[in-house]
Amino acid sequence: MIAIDKLCYNSKLRYENAGEKFAFAVITLCICVMGRRISTSCIVLAVTGILTVYKGGIPASRYARYMTAPLAFLLLSTAAIMVQVSQTPLDLFAVPVGGWYITSSSASFQYAMQLILTALGAVSCLYFLAFTTPVPDILEVLRRLHVPALMIELMLLIYRFIFVLLHAASAISISQDCRLGNKDYRTALKSFGMLGSVLMIRAIGRSNRLYDAMEARCYDGTIRVLSESRPPKKKVICWIVIFDAALLLFAVWRRWLV
């Protein structure tokens, strides 16, 4: 099982209504992206982090480690916005290199921070949903929202095959290690190529066997999955409406009225 799934099934919010969690995550994400302000993003980061770590029981160290992955990518991608090479020094800092300057301005730095925090806020909303709601429950919410059945079935099959292929890749990798398949860089590259080719062949074979098994069980074009139905709580719905309405008003005020 993937680590995110383990954390999800052990979350204290696991048995809360999936529709409530889905609505909170999606609406908050949209407001965060629409607002695109540092203050709005910080509020979203703080609230989703508290709900995920303290209410959901996810270890803070694990949550921080998962947040560092998009943070590292964002820092590298916004470096070109933040730092410039120019013949004229800018107001934030300027490092002379010959007749040129490696420099940055306060406006570009603020814009880069705005992009980073907005993206992190959106990621934190998705992490809240992923760490508290199993995939079958999310697919059930999508079904109730009348998402096309074909798309839901593809998502379910892809989710299933992630575990199958990870298990197969792990077994092949262990077998290669036992046969000194990674003793040096050249051998490791060759082993990695062989692993990819074998994994592709096994994936196609397993998909064919899966379809045959579904046909043998009277598959009629729809995959039916049992889901647990939990009634929504009026108190939780009220808190979601109050928070997102306040966040929306704050985002509108910060973006267009200030």
Considering the domain architecture, whether residues 179 and 234 belong to the same structural domain is answered as no
| Domain boundaries, position 158 | 144-216
Structure tokens belonging to residue 98: 């010959």
Question: Are 187 and 250 within one domain?
Answer: no
Q: Where are the beta strands (DSSP E) in 18-140?
A: 84-86, 93-97, 100-104
Query: Model confidence over 128-170: pLDDT tens digits?
Result: 998 998 888 888 888 888 888 888 888 888 887 887 787 788 8
pLDDT in tens, 223-252: 777 666 778 888 989 999 999 999 989 888
Say if residue 9 is in the same domain as residue 57: yes
Shared-domain flag, residues 20 and 111: yes
User: pTM here?
Assistant: 0.81
Residue 1: its pLDDT value, please? 55
My answer on whether 129 and 84 are in the same domain is yes
Q: What's the domain count of the chain?
A: 2
- State yes or no: pLDDT of 105 exceeds 70: yes
> Residue 224 domain-assigned?
no
Please tell me the distance from the alpha carbon of residue 134 to that of residue 51, in angstroms, as a whole number.
16
pLDDT at 258: 56
What confidence tens digit (pLDDT) does each residue in 49-95 have?
999 998 888 888 888 888 888 888 888 888 777 777 777 776 776 77
Q: Which of 7, 126, 123, 18 is nearest to 60 (CA)?
A: 7
* Stronger pLDDT, 110 or 121, i.e. the higher one: 121
**One domain, residues 168 and 76:** no
Would you report the helix, strand and coil content of the chain in percent, each value rounded to 5? 75, 5, 20
pLDDT exceeds cutoff 90 at 28? yes
